[in-house]
Homo-oligomer: A and B are copies of this chain.
Amino acid sequence: MADKLTRLKSILAEQRDISLAIALADWDKQANMPPGGAKERSWQSATLTALAHQRFTSPEVGQLLEDLQSSAVSLDPDSDDARLLKSTARDYARRVKVPVEFEAEFAQVTSAAHTVWVKARAEEDFASFLPSLRRIFELRRTYAGFFAPYDHIYDPLLEDFEPGMKTAEVQKLFEWLRPRQVALIQAIANRPPIDDSFLFGHFDPQKQWDFGVEVLKRMGFDFNRGRQDFSAHPFTTSFGIGDVRITTHIDPHSLGSGFFSTVHEGGHALYNQGFFPGLAHTPLAEGASLAIHESQSRLWENLVARSRDFWVYYYPRLQIVFPSQLGSVSLDEFYRGINRVERSPVRVEADEATYNLHVMLRLELEIALIEGKLDPSDLPEAWNQAMRDYLGITPAALSKGVLQDVHWSGGTIGYFPTYALGNLISAQLWEKINQAIPDLPDQFRRGEFGALLEWLRGSIHRHGAKFEPQELVQRVTGSTITPEPYMRYLETKFGQIYSL
């Protein structure tokens, strides 16, 4: 058995090396590549993607997994090896079900659809995007069919991003949450609006950058094992546990957008820097799922960096950096400003109180589309109706409505729920953390985040992808994913800010 396991690990390590080369090509494309490099880069990425796929789906891997399955019973089920075999068998079984020709067609359709969407959004023209959208949902239905039987046709799509999670579970969580969040937002809308005008003006980009770097360092981001660059859209990527990179986008006219995205990506990066070193060069050196990853980024962005305690330490420092803009703004005014709730039609600009509603809207529409209950041609109206129901607003333009997100044009369906699940998990973890570290608020007020990071490292980060998300949340919090802590958090925080 040892020989076969060694052989399997070596194949997986090769596949991982190729995957990380693809990740580097992508990072470089967004951070550095001159425009002229696009065509040749796409050839390179396509070749590497095919190689990684071939390496993983070879009959040899299937045979090794089969041979190892019987002897795996002798392993400690929580050992790295047992977990590696389990997750590899799961991924292998899924990957071999999808014909290579289908993958190629899907890649081609979505690549073209992305270009169509960019133009459609710029021209506020849903009709030109409609054929692409229709084709993509057809292909995703075909894709789901490869995994039949299933409880729900959306299950196989969700599984790509949240292993083990079922559509029915997510729907149940969201059904509990929706009326409560709608009611909260309604209550807030009846209160006087908060002034956050001081967050807009001119803020020297270099000073914004430097302040963000200082915060990243105190959070525990290790610049010897990572770096930060500029890109149009912030993201986090890794080329190993020792090379974790984040990008940020600094807006010279807005103080908040660059800073909170830096902290958000920093949260992702701390996760990737925190995997147990023994997992390096294996498929377990990844986050457990997108929702778990998002729980880390949003925990740092919102529960930490939008807390009053955080700014007790940092606000005087920020005032020194931007004295003319913030010198006459009090800590409490600042704290309320960065937590202003606004019913915006745009998801990426949404605050903590409204964000999940944007996700729920998308999930419902995705499910209706994939079930065939909603025709893509009726999508704009369905979108706007849901917006009115949940947020009480109607987008003024398609680019602020149904055409705002990149996901569908890229064929990414089943991804949106992970954003909201990440929020829920972050609040569940937060309650556990505050029990474990009773003086956490005092630590924040002193600019200390070491105990928090240590807790996250020990409870979440070190395990990498060893556990499926629901199992991991259960192990750490004693419950699977549940919405109550997040709702408690929102009601307490915004109840206080808006005097509800």
| A21 adjacent to chain B (CB < 8 Å) | yes
Which residues on B sit within 8 Å (CB–CB) of A226?
Answer: 34, 36
- Interface size, chain A (Cβ < 8 Å): 39
Please name all residues of chain B whose beta carbon is closer than 8 Å to the beta carbon of A281 when the two chains form the complex. Answer: 40, 43
Interchain CA distance A281-B51 in the complex, whole Å? 17
Q: Interface digits, A36-51 against B, CB 8 Å rule (1 contact, 0 not)?
A: 1111110110111001
Residues of B within 8 A of A241 (CB): 36, 40
Is A212 close to B, CB under 8 A? no
Q: Are B24 and A28 in contact (CB under 8 A)?
A: yes
Partner of A40, one of B33, B39, B239: B239
CB contact between A37 and one of B21, B48, B225 (< 8 Å): that residue: B225
For A38, what are the chain B residues with a Cβ–Cβ distance below 8 Å? Answer: 242
State the Cβ distance, A219 to closest chain B Cβ, in Å.
Answer: 16
* Chain B residues within 8 Å of A43, by CB: 13, 17, 240, 281
Flag whether A280 is at the interface (Cβ < 8 A): yes
A180 to B148, CA, bound (A): 82
Instruction: Say how far A286's CB is from chain B's closest CB, in angstroms.
Output: 14
Minimum CB–CB distance from A278 to chain B (whole Å) comes to: 14
Query: Does A20 sit at the interface, judged by CB under 8 A?
Result: yes
**Segment 20-68 of A: residues with Cβ below 8 Å from B:** 20-21, 24-25, 28, 32-41, 43-44, 46-48, 51
Q: Judge whether A239 and B41 touch: CB under 8 Å.
A: yes
A441 CB to nearest B CB, Å: 32
Q: Give the distance in Å from the alpha carbon of A106 to the alpha carbon of B28 in the complex.
A: 31
Q: Which residue of B lies closest to A27 (CB)?
A: B28
A403 cross-chain contacts in B, Cβ below 8 A? none
* Contact of A34 with B225 at beta-carbon distance under 8 Å, contacts A20-B44, A28-B24 already known: yes
In the complex, which residues 429-470 of chain A have their Cβ closer than 8 Å to any Cβ of chain B? none
CB nearest neighbor in B for A240: B40
Q: Which of B13, B44, B242, B280 has a CB less than 8 Å from the CB of A17?
A: B44
Report B-chain residues with C-beta under 8 Å of the C-beta of A47.
Answer: 13-14, 17-18
- 13 cross-chain CB contacts under 8 A: A13-B47, A17-B44, A17-B46, A17-B47, A21-B21, A21-B44, A24-B24, A24-B28, A28-B28, A34-B243, A40-B242, A40-B280, A44-B240
